[in-house]
Structure 1
């Protein structure tokens, strides 16, 4: 697989140049678990381990590789490689962690504890916020996702799935327009192949996309449609909680 199909573009090429001149290879982090990484280069995947110098210089969790990061590696055998550096991130999703001390309520406000960021995904170009046009629709939830995506540096796009089940799509779009501030909104139906060609403009080499949304909105079904294969398990929607 080419680096471009993994999301490589001119931004990363420019930032990798100093490492290329020193004989490093570029790879993207596919999975991460307790200091163990799977990284994918242009030709193959490796089990990645951090170099001693990398760990010595890393002060906080944000300094460590996360899924989506581009890294500079050197292979040590057919299956293993050493990670020496992370390329600057274009965007990232993070969660706040309390690393020391305790938090408590004081006058209705959470105080105490030292906070740091943990990166949970990086270098995303487009984040699709998926909402179902059924009982799942929640304008407050969509607004929270918009805030999350904008703070990450990615571009939000709203997908209103299951449009075949809705007779008043324009009413839902009008509600979202009031909070979206120019964000693109598309109504689609995976099962009935309605407006699914909108992905053609987003699925291209050098770009990375993600899907956000609550359980049952159709994220896995959309991904399976794009890949043309059952790569994500899907379930029937529960009649009791509306989740997949």
Structure 2
């Protein structure tokens, strides 16, 4: 196999500088993750690798282990004399994080070092502004640049109206409109996939992510025919980084469709509400019943949609529960219910005193 220039894999000067700290080791990028092994691309080609015992022992959390997209330092660049060993994970410039399956608060990196995240939503029955707000909050928190891709324009009767609706919630993010029927339907995405840049796709099943990735990669690995409901049957069973022929890299992963709100950035995805909140009379305004609430006034004046505030409050509450076990969540809910009298502890005192008076 011919030598690979790591710069084409996104190995920037910052990564190169950090790599010099580890003498006698070689840099590579994780392109796929299996149960116990990783596929890593080095300057000499691809190889299989496993984590060193020291890295495993010193890992303070699951998130410290390598993930697809990570740049790592290995002891070799081929498998001729056995499996390569990963000794270090270089610092990440961005990361998608979710809770590990079956745990209450253990974070797992789904994919890392992403430059652009394409949030795909179709313009047919899948179109949902509240879902788009959720994906934007997740994307902003990752450190990558979110770009909204509205797919299946050929199935929509009023593309302009839905695009305008998406623009109303996608503050700070560019919006692209694509059609699955057009041969060049993916052309608007190409400028984001320059050599060395990495992109990821998130969105509901059947919105056209696989079709876009197939066209970008010039192959048909991402779908396996159509189901009766006209949705592509996605066959990706592991996280994988794909190097595109024309330059750029794409991370294809089932995990990107299962992200929660572990590190959601609501300040960017709901910048309009945050800006209005600065004008509220009370600093701790809940934007529900307080006098002098600028957010409620904006709703009354038709500047802000009531549904958008509801979505904001729902995601805010959901984000506050992340990392808690079920008992802690129940306690948080009760404290919220009784916040006007000082929380659950004061509520218990109040009920106890009331019970005494009845005796």
TM-score (structure 1 length as normaliser) = 0.85
- For 1:234 and 1:168, locate their aligned partners in 2 and report how far apart those are by CA, in whole Å: 30
Higher-Rg structure is: 2
Match of 1:201 among 153, 178, 191: 191
Aligned pair partner of 2:167 in 172, 177, 181: 177
Per-residue CA deviations over 1:145-165 (Å, capped at 9, x if unaligned) read: 111111111111000111122
Q: Deviations over 1:4-58 (max 9, x none)?
A: 3322222322222222xx1211111122233321111122112112222212211
Counterpart-to-counterpart distance in 1, 2:154 and 2:219: 22
1:71-86 alignment to 2 at 5 Å?
71-75=72-76, 77-78=79-80, 80-86=83-89
Shift of 1:224: 1.1
Corresponding residue for residue 19 of structure 2: 16
Unaligned runs of 5+ in 2: 233-359
Match of 1:108 in 2: none
| Greater fraction strand | 1
User: Quick one: distance in 1 between partners of 2:150 and 2:101?
Assistant: 35
What residue number does 2:98 align with? Answer: 95
SS of the residue corresponding to residue 151 of structure 1 reads helix
Structure (1 or 2) with the greater helix fraction: 2
**Aligned residues of 1:93 and 1:120 also touching (Cα < 8 A):** yes
When residues 9 and 91 of structure 1 are mapped into structure 2, their CA distance, relative to the original with a 3 A threshold, is: same
Contact 2:154 2:180 in 1 (8 A): no
Equivalent residue for 1:49?
A: 50
- Secondary structure of 2:63 counterpart: helix
Cα RMSD over matched residues? 2.0
List runs of 5+ in structure 1 lacking aligned partners. 101-112
